[in-house]
């Protein structure tokens, strides 16, 4: 599917619906689809792989010309691969802190949800916070070679002192401009969309191991 192109958006939407016998227009009329409810479906039809088996050896990756066996490959931006960069940016950024209050970038404009979580949070180890003069609830800058974002510090002794874990998807409906302050706390400003830093097989951006630094919001970088 990822290697095909369609003439229209509707054609692209028709494609995944082909097994159902519906077109996109017909699906819109129906409004929902519900699959057969059954336990142990794999005993009847196998798994959703080309071999119908659990694949430790990926036949799909092999077909695409990639190594079919899992192995560790060092990321292009890490303390190991970029020791020169880690001198200025000593921490590993996890840019995907999940919270149940919102769904990605949605629902910041719902007042009672903002009451639950009014500000974006970044979790850091207490030792790391002390090293940089950061206290619980302080506004801080998280910065990478590509940009920076402002979030409130939340101390968490359950994470590695070398790791910074930041929330994503933040914007501010109370800021009355077209962008609603998206550039203030958007952790994606720190990540890298360069082709060389993407997963070679699926094109995913590295969101879990960028290099960064952190400091109180009153300070300059």
Last residue in a domain, options 71, 94, 121: 71
Give yes or no: residues 199 and 120 share one domain: yes
Structure tokens at 89: 């940016």
**DSSP output for 94-158:** EEEE--SSSBTTBTTT-HHHHHHS-S-EEEE-HHHHHHTT--TT-EEEEEETTEEEEEEEEE-TT
In a domain, 76, yes or no: no
Give yes or no: residues 26 and 45 share one domain: no
| pLDDT above 90: residue 157 | yes
In a domain, 221, yes or no: no
Average pLDDT over residues 97-109: 91
pLDDT attached to residue 219? 64
For the chain, percent of residues with pLDDT exceeding 70: 97
Give yes or no: residues 66 and 158 share one domain: no
Give yes or no: residues 3 and 28 share one domain: yes
| pLDDT above 70: residue 220 | no
| pLDDT above 70: residue 181 | yes
In a domain, 77, yes or no: no
In a domain, 109, yes or no: yes
Alpha-carbon gap, residue 34 to 27, rounded angstroms: 12
In a domain, 181, yes or no: yes
Q: Are strands 210-216 and 147-155 parallel, antiparallel or unpaired?
A: unpaired
Q: Whole-number mean pLDDT of the chain?
A: 91
Number of domains in the chain: 3
Q: Are strands 139-144 and 210-216 parallel, antiparallel or unpaired?
A: antiparallel
CB atoms within 10 A of CB 103: 10
Give yes or no: residues 47 and 125 share one domain: no
Give yes or no: residues 112 and 18 share one domain: no
pLDDT attached to residue 221? 53
Give yes or no: residues 47 and 26 share one domain: no
Give yes or no: residues 122 and 150 share one domain: yes
Give yes or no: residues 103 and 179 share one domain: yes
Range(s) of the domain holding residue 16 = 1-35
Alpha-carbon gap, residue 159 to 100, rounded angstroms: 19
Q: pTM score, two decimals?
A: 0.78
pLDDT attached to residue 2? 46
Give yes or no: residues 168 and 198 share one domain: yes
| pLDDT above 60: residue 95 | yes
| pLDDT above 60: residue 3 | no
CATH number of the domain enclosing 150: 2.40.40.20
């Amino acid at each position: 599917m990822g290697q095909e192109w369609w003439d229209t958006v509707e054609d692209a939407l028709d494609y995944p619906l082909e097994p159902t016998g519906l077109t996109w227009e017909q699906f819109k009329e129906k409004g929902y689809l519900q699959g057969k409810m059954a336990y142990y479906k794999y005993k009847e039809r196998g798994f959703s792989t080309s071999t119908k088996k659990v694949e430790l050896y990926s036949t799909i990756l092999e077909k695409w010309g990639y190594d079919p066996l899992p192995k560790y490959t060092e990321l292009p931006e890490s303390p190991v691969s970029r020791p020169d960069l880690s001198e200025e940016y000593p921490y590993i950024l996890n840019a995907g802190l999940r919270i149940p209050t919102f769904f990605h970038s949605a629902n910041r404009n719902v007042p009672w949800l903002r009451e639950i979580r009014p500000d974006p949070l970044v979790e850091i180890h207490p030792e790391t916070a002390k090293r940089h003069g950061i206290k619980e609830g302080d506004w801080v800058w998280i910065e990478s070679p590509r940009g920076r974002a402002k979030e409130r510090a939340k101390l968490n002794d359950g994470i590695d002192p070398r790791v910074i874990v930041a929330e994503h998807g933040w914007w501010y409906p109370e800021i009355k401009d077209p962008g609603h302050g998206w550039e203030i706390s958007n952790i994606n400003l720190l990540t890298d969309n360069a082709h060389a830093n993407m997963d070679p097989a699926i094109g995913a951006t590295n969101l879990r191991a960028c290099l960064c630094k952190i400091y109180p919001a009153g300070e300059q970088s």
